[in-house]
Chain A
């Protein structure tokens, strides 16, 4: 039998023996995977993981799994960053330790992972955990769809990881511009891995976004109008709307590129009537709103953290809502600024340049609102607040460099230099990542019933902030000096010192990440002393703090009735934070199901088989996906009832925890 029929393009040559560094990376992934599987087996935790986590459709557990996925991918993406900084620190007048091809793979996977498999899952994880609780809802609108979204994202991430072990990754950067990524210039499977990972994860994100839109519009607690929603929910809504409208751009750009590569079509080829500008437009019609998908929910986190730790209500709630909506709409009018230099008419460039400057206005409004929230507040500097303050200071610098880049004549000078790299890291690290870290520290005690260790949290914070400035401020300077992005090596001796400072910054960030890992270990070890099951760990203002920590599966035994903003704060001010009904009603919750996990597994197989042209396997995976969808639609027993007695017992235990805490306080 012809082995091509069985294995497609897959041969033993796909193993990464082309470089010892790649082989080492692959070995780390494989050994890490084996170690995790071994540890779970040794702990006999498979049944627990399967019944409590993998088959769960509870938005809280899905949220936690999203965040775990994001943290794992953060490590991978950060190792890529370290490798790049090390390469450029030493590659002055020599070739460094990475081949150009390998270096290109590293920056491509760094960008792809940090945006799609670190940022997006982290955000969707926090949104998943927090939004239903803040809305006073028992779950999202479609719990199973939520699980499918998670497992599709995980399947995409798994494909990126698989590319490290079997085959290679794309060398086309995170944007994958053709014609370079066409088959004639990139004949390896790298681009195919990139396309399949993004298409699968993008589908998952679209489904999750639809879910959040419906949840926010239709599942709010009785009485909660849109303008009584916590601001984080508004930002989650805007990010989800952006995702639903923008992700088709990525699907079309990636899908058409795949058709060029697999079926020899001519969408973006140099010959045959292809048009590469279509790709740039399609990709950035998605790509620019994507920036706001990433950053708006982080703005929501800051808008939650800053009032809580200023012990004031949020300043200018209405204005913040309008500003968020403005940004969401305007984000569709600026995409061309990503390619001013690619030949558009001067008037077109002028329009997009002006729109780009305009979009900075609502963002500036937000910054003033946060500052005025802090003004005359009683500030507490716990780690979530530290991240928020560092964000404001750092983000403003990034915003101003963005306004510089929005001017087309200046962009002609700066584009493709390290100035641009410094700019967008200066937006996304404080704007997105610091927000995610603030949210992680802020809601951790809600999710687990004990807080993260403050001492290690502070160490992590300082290492990160110092590391950020050291790593990226030199890149602005290098940009002015004319250093272009994506250089494997260079021969300008005066550049090297800046690259070395940047590498030291990356090492400081490494210490920050190590501190975060230690923080997690220390916090888990000390959890008996720090446990706070009563629920309101920080003195929060929104409804998620009105439940126990962690909240029960059903979130609220009795749905809260809301008639104002910051409902929990108002209830506390009135002296009635908790209502204890005489009797409880039984509640209907979704049963566990393996459908989500199986969907993800089949999507991974489909992606892997397509990458390697193993058509029988791809066909089976498609049949499986269609089959399981149809089979599921015939299932009738999809929910179960939690009896009232069980709810009464859970609520009683929580009430005792609150009374015990009040007793301790007196």
Chain B
């Protein structure tokens, strides 16, 4: 039991019950992510059923800027990579490097949010608001829920930077970073589905 290790971050268990605790909390977080994934799945289904319900308003092909969406994708994927670098640093116990990579991840996350807000404001100035049509309601809500998750992720990274500074790489801090990593990569995964379902059909059309 105490030999079991998790991918990503070596928790270096001093006590056997720590391994058990980590296993329990990580499993619990996976279960939460499952529930969250279903939340997104239902919103994807809603979006798919609303995509043609433009109610005389603009359609996705007229509105979406694939360049911006591509940039958002790059920024978010890059942030997953930098989080991976932070995880490697954690594994080797290099606290400073881990913090630095987390700061880079945080900046990329904020950058992503900035790009998303820019897209939203450009749509709204074009008169394409969430109130315009069922299609735009579902577009804005799907992306905002993902954005809200990204915001929570950014706040979480900020909190973890503070905790690393205060507690060092203690067992609870490592365990939380492990779960934060799952959360952050999960955001990426959801974004890839968004990119595929929302933006790519516009290019092919």
Q: Is the CB of A278 within 8 A of B46?
A: yes
Q: Is the CB of B32 within 8 A of A267?
A: no
Distance A141 CA – B27 CA, assembled complex (angstroms): 10
Tell whether A252 pairs with B155 under 8 Å between CB atoms, given A266-B133, A272-B133, A275-B134. Answer: no
Chain A 228-253 near chain B by CB (<8 Å), digits 1 or 0:
00000000000000001101110110
Verify if A515 is at the interface (C-beta below 8 Å from B): no
Q: Is the CB of B141 within 8 A of A259?
A: yes
Verify if B38 is at the interface (C-beta below 8 Å from A): yes
Distance A206 CA – B134 CA, assembled complex (angstroms): 28
Verify if A184 is at the interface (C-beta below 8 Å from B): no
Q: Is the CB of A630 within 8 A of B159?
A: yes
Q: Is the CB of A265 within 8 A of B141?
A: yes
Chain B 104-144 near chain A by CB (<8 Å), digits 1 or 0:
00000000000000000000000000111111011011000
Q: Residue on B with the closest CB to A588?
A: B17
Tell whether A214 pairs with B24 under 8 Å between CB atoms, given A251-B39, A265-B137. Answer: yes
Q: Which residues of B contact A633 (CB under 8 A)?
A: 159, 163, 176
Q: Is the CB of B55 within 8 A of A272?
A: yes
Verify if B34 is at the interface (C-beta below 8 Å from A): yes
Q: Which residues of A contact B159 (CB under 8 A)?
A: 630, 633
Q: Is the CB of B55 within 8 A of A271?
A: yes
Q: Is the CB of B38 within 8 A of A141?
A: no
Verify if B31 is at the interface (C-beta below 8 Å from A): yes
Verify if A93 is at the interface (C-beta below 8 Å from B): no
Tell whether A218 pairs with B27 under 8 Å between CB atoms, given A245-B38, A247-B35, A252-B43. Answer: yes
Q: Residue on B with the closest CB to A272?
A: B55
Verify if A523 is at the interface (C-beta below 8 Å from B): no
Verify if A166 is at the interface (C-beta below 8 Å from B): no
Chain B, interface SS category: helix
Instruction: Report which of B24, B31, B42, B55 forms a contact with A219, defined as CB distance below 8 A.
Output: B24
Verify if B73 is at the interface (C-beta below 8 Å from A): no
Tell whether A218 pairs with B176 under 8 Å between CB atoms, given A210-B35, A252-B46, A278-B46. Answer: no
Verify if A282 is at the interface (C-beta below 8 Å from B): yes
Verify if B149 is at the interface (C-beta below 8 Å from A): no
Task: Determine the interface band of chain A, counting residues with CB < 8 A from chain B.
Answer: 35 or more
Q: Is the CB of A273 within 8 A of B34?
A: no
Q: Is the CB of A214 within 8 A of B31?
A: yes
Q: Which residues of B contact A272 (CB under 8 A)?
A: 55, 131-134, 137
Q: Which residues of A contact B176 (CB under 8 A)?
A: 633
Q: Which residues of B contact A630 (CB under 8 A)?
A: 155, 159
Q: Is the CB of B141 within 8 A of A218?
A: no
Q: Residue on A with the closest CB to B145?
A: A255
Verify if A438 is at the interface (C-beta below 8 Å from B): no
Verify if A316 is at the interface (C-beta below 8 Å from B): no
Q: Which residues of A contact B57 (CB under 8 A)?
A: 273
Distance A256 CA – B43 CA, assembled complex (angstroms): 10
Verify if B10 is at the interface (C-beta below 8 Å from A): no
Verify if A213 is at the interface (C-beta below 8 Å from B): yes
Verify if A626 is at the interface (C-beta below 8 Å from B): yes
Tell me which residues from 31 to 58 in chain B have a Cβ below 8 Å from any Cβ of chain A: 31-32, 34-36, 38-39, 41-43, 46, 49-50, 53-55, 57
Distance A247 CA – B38 CA, assembled complex (angstroms): 9
Shortest CB-to-CB span from B105 to chain A, Å, is 18
Chain B 1-43 near chain A by CB (<8 Å), digits 1 or 0:
0000000000000000000100111011001101110110111
Q: Is the CB of B55 within 8 A of A266?
A: yes
Q: Which residues of A contact B140 (CB under 8 A)?
A: 265
Q: Which residues of B contact A263 (CB under 8 A)?
A: 130-131
In this complex, which of A142, A218, A260, A265 has the most chain B Cβ atoms within 10 angstroms of its Cβ? A265
Q: Is the CB of B134 within 8 A of A626?
A: no
Verify if A55 is at the interface (C-beta below 8 Å from B): no
Q: Residue on A with the closest CB to B36?
A: A248
Verify if B166 is at the interface (C-beta below 8 Å from A): yes
Q: Which residues of A contact B155 (CB under 8 A)?
A: 626, 630
Shortest CB-to-CB span from B77 to chain A, Å, is 26
Verify if A274 is at the interface (C-beta below 8 Å from B): yes
Instruction: Report which of B23, B38, B135, B138 forms a contact with A218, defined as CB distance below 8 A.
Output: B23
Tell me which residues from 281 to 340 in chain A have a Cβ below 8 Å from any Cβ of chain B: 282, 285
Q: Is the CB of B50 within 8 A of A275?
A: yes
Q: Which residues of B contact A273 (CB under 8 A)?
A: 50, 53-55, 57, 133-135
In this complex, which of A214, A251, A273, A285 has the most chain B Cβ atoms within 10 angstroms of its Cβ? A273
Tell whether A213 pairs with B31 under 8 Å between CB atoms, given A218-B23, A219-B24, A251-B39. Answer: yes
Q: Which residues of A contact B43 (CB under 8 A)?
A: 252
Q: Given known contacts A214-B24, A256-B141, A265-B141, what 9 new A-B pairs fall within 8 Å (CB)?
A: A141-B24, A213-B31, A252-B39, A256-B46, A265-B130, A272-B55, A272-B133, A273-B50, A273-B54
Could you list 20 A-B pairs, sorted by A, with CB under 8 Å? Answer: A142-B25, A142-B28, A210-B28, A210-B32, A214-B27, A218-B23, A219-B24, A248-B38, A248-B42, A249-B38, A252-B43, A265-B141, A266-B133, A272-B137, A273-B50, A273-B55, A275-B53, A278-B50, A282-B46, A630-B155
Task: List the 3 shortest-distance A-B pairs measured between CB atoms, nearest first.
Answer: A273-B134, A273-B53, A273-B55
